[in-house]
Structures are given as C-alpha cells and as structure tokens.
C-alpha cells in the first residue's frame, strides 16, 4: 500500500467513525454493553440527521463494525501494555520486538480498513446533501473536544 493511500485510508476511517468512537468513549463510564452503545449512538445520529429507516440501518451496521473492532482491540490491549512495560524495563530496549508490535497493529488496521471503509461508504452514500453537510459541520465543530475532559482547555 502506498503511503498516500494509507494516509487517505486512515483519515477516512478516523473521520467516518469519529462520531461513533466519540460516543462510545464518552459513554463508556455508563456501563453500557457494546450493543447498548450501538443502539444509543444510532438513536442519537438518527435524531440529529433525521435518518430514514434505510439510513438508520446503514449507520447501525457501521456502528456495529466499529464497536466490534474496538472490542477486539480492547481484548488484546492489556497483554500489549504488559509487553511494552517489559520492553521498557529491560536493560536494553528490544527495537526489533517494538517494531514487531507496531507492525502487528498496522497489519490489524490494514486488515480491517476495507470493512470499515465499505460500511462507511454505504452509510455516506445513503445520505442526502443536507445530511452530509450536517455531518461535516458536526465533525468540524466537535473535532478534538474529547481531548479536553474537565481540565484546562487551552
């Protein structure tokens, strides 16, 4: 994969799933199951964008895809954190193993990107011009807000 194609893919994944990821992360402390989070986010997006039933189903499929990928990533996160901790404690940093860990993550992203992009495309292609404009405005106005929880927002 060319670097520019990889960057474009990463940007599309981030933009396309930002609303779902934001809502999943924001409401994680509520103790919701992944299915409840998908339902919550789908209802919220449906209300905000005025989605019809087909568009709502398309968004629900996208949200379920993102939720599943997040659950898969979370399942291996603790092991990865422990392994990184071990690498940091070793007298000599094992560069080869660190690179291997990064490559494993990159491979996972590359494997899942087509699924996310396809789900995103189906949803976005079902939106009308006004809904796309509302979505763009939301992304533009809410970009980065989740980084400033309760602290100095400078």
11 domain residue, yes or no: yes
98 domain residue, yes or no: no
Question: Using an 8 Å Cβ cutoff, are 66 and 123 in contact?
Answer: no
126 domain residue, yes or no: yes
Q: From CA 45, how far away is CA 87, in angstroms rounded? A: 42
104 domain residue, yes or no: no
pLDDT tens track for 71-100: 888 888 888 888 888 988 999 999 999 889
Q: Which domain holds residue 15?
A: 3-74+113-144
Q: From CA 131, how far away is CA 58, in angstroms rounded? A: 14
The separation between CA 27 and the C-alpha centre of its own chain, rounded to angstroms, equals 14
pLDDT tens track for 35-62: 888 888 888 888 888 999 999 999 989 9
Question: Using an 8 Å Cβ cutoff, are 37 and 58 in contact?
Answer: no
Question: Using an 8 Å Cβ cutoff, are 15 and 139 in contact?
Answer: yes
Give me the number of domains the chain comprises: 1
SS (H, E, C) 15-84: HHHHHHHHHHHHCHHHCCCHHHHHHHHHHHHHHHHCCCHHHHHHHHHHHHHHHHHHHHHHHHHHHHHHHH
48 domain residue, yes or no: yes
102 domain residue, yes or no: no
38 domain residue, yes or no: yes
pTM above 0.85, yes or no: no
23 domain residue, yes or no: yes
């Amino acid at each position: 994969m060319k670097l520019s194609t990889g960057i474009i893919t990463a940007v599309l994944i981030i933009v396309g799933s930002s609303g779902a990821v934001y809502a999943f992360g924001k409401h994680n402390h509520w103790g919701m199951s992944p299915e409840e989070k998908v339902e919550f986010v789908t209802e919220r997006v449906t209300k905000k964008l005025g989605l019809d039933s087909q568009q709502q189903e398309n968004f629900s499929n996208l949200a379920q895809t993102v939720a599943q990928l997040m659950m898969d990533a979370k399942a291996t996160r603790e092991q990865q954190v422990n392994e990184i901790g071990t690498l940091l404690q070793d007298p000599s940093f094992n560069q080869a193993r660190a690179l291997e860990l990064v490559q494993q993550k990159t491979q996972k992203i590359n494997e899942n990107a087509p699924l996310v992009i396809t789900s995103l495309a189906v949803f976005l292609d079902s939106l009308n011009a006004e809904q796309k404009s509302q979505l763009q405005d939301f992304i533009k106005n809410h970009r980065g807000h989740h980084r400033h929880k309760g602290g100095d927002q400078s």
